[in-house]
Amino acid sequence: MTGRAKAVGQVIAVTAVVGLLVLLGWKLAFGNGGGASAELAGGGTPVAPDFTLPRIDTEGGDLTFSSLKGKAVVVNFWASWCVPCKDEAPELQKTYEKYRDQGLVVLGVDAKDFREDGKRFIKRFGLTYPNVDDGRGSTLGKWGVTGFPETFFVDREGRIVGEVIQGGIDLERNRERYAEGIRLALGDSK
C-alpha cells in the first residue's frame, strides 16, 4: 500500500473511532438509566433536573419545575396506561391534601402517554395537584426514570432526597420509604 493510501485509511479509522466515542458520550449523558436517580443511589443529593412542560390539569399554561423552589415536592412519574399508577393515584391526592398547608406540592409528570388520556385520568381520579404532559419522555433520562410509576422527593432547596420509589406508593413494601421521603422533603427533623 502506498504511503498516501495508508494515511487516508488511518484518517478514516480515526474518524470512525472518534465518531463512536461521541455517540457513546451522548448516550451516557442523555440516555435513560442514569441521571439523578443514579447519583442519589450513589449517596449524593443531586439537584433536581429542571424542566418546563405544559400543564394538563388546567387549560393551557406551562409549569417550570424550578419555580417550585422553596416548597417540598413529591414528583410522581406516571402514565394513564399504567395499572399501578391507577392504584396509587388516590394516595397521592391524600398526600397533597394532608401536607399542602406545610408547603408540600405533589407534581405529576404524565410521560409517554396521550395527553387526552392523561386529562381523563386526572378527571377520573379527581386529582387536584398540578400535572404536566411529557409525552416525549424528555425528563426521564435526566431524572433516571426506568419505569412507571416512579416517585422522587425534592426538598425546599431543590435537592433530591430520600429514596426513589419504584412501583406504587400504596404497596406495603414502599409505605415506610414514602413516609420517610416526605419527612426529608419537608425538612422535618423529627
Partner 1 sequence: MSRLVIVVVAALVLATAAVAAGPPVQADLEAEIVCPTCKTTLDQSNAPIAVRMKGYIRERIAAGDSAAEIKAQLVDQFGPGVLAEPPKRGFDLLAWLLPLGAVAVGVVVVGALAVTWSKRRSTDGEPSDARLDPELERRLDEELDRFEG
Q: For binding to partner 1 (CB under 8 A), which residues are involved? A: 1-2, 5, 8-9, 12, 79, 81-82, 112-115, 117, 135-138
Backbone φ and ψ for 19, nearest 5 degrees, come out as -60, -45
Q: HSE (CB half, 13 Å, CA atoms) of 61?
A: 8
Find cell 395499572 and name the residue: 83
In the complex, minimum distance from the CB of residue 160 to partner 1, in angstroms, rounded to a whole number: 24
In the complex, minimum distance from the CB of residue 164 to partner 1, in angstroms, rounded to a whole number: 19
Cα–Cα distances (Å) from 140 to 16, 78, 117, 145, in that order, read: 30, 11, 19, 5
In the complex, minimum distance from the CB of residue 80 to partner 1, in angstroms, rounded to a whole number: 8
Find cell 421521603 and name the residue: 181
Do residues 149 and 85 make contact, with C-beta atoms less than 8 angstroms apart?
A: yes
Of 115 and 177, the one with the shorter C-beta distance to partner 1 is: 115
Of 17 and 179, the one with the shorter C-beta distance to partner 1 is: 17
Residues 6 or more apart whose CB falls under 8 angstroms from that of 34 comprise 28, 141, 144
Of 84 and 158, the one with the shorter C-beta distance to partner 1 is: 84
Query: Which residues face 54 on adjacent strands?
Result: 62
In the complex, minimum distance from the CB of residue 112 to partner 1, in angstroms, rounded to a whole number: 5
Of 48 and 82, the one with the shorter C-beta distance to partner 1 is: 82
In the complex, minimum distance from the CB of residue 40 to partner 1, in angstroms, rounded to a whole number: 23
Of 80 and 95, the one with the shorter C-beta distance to partner 1 is: 80
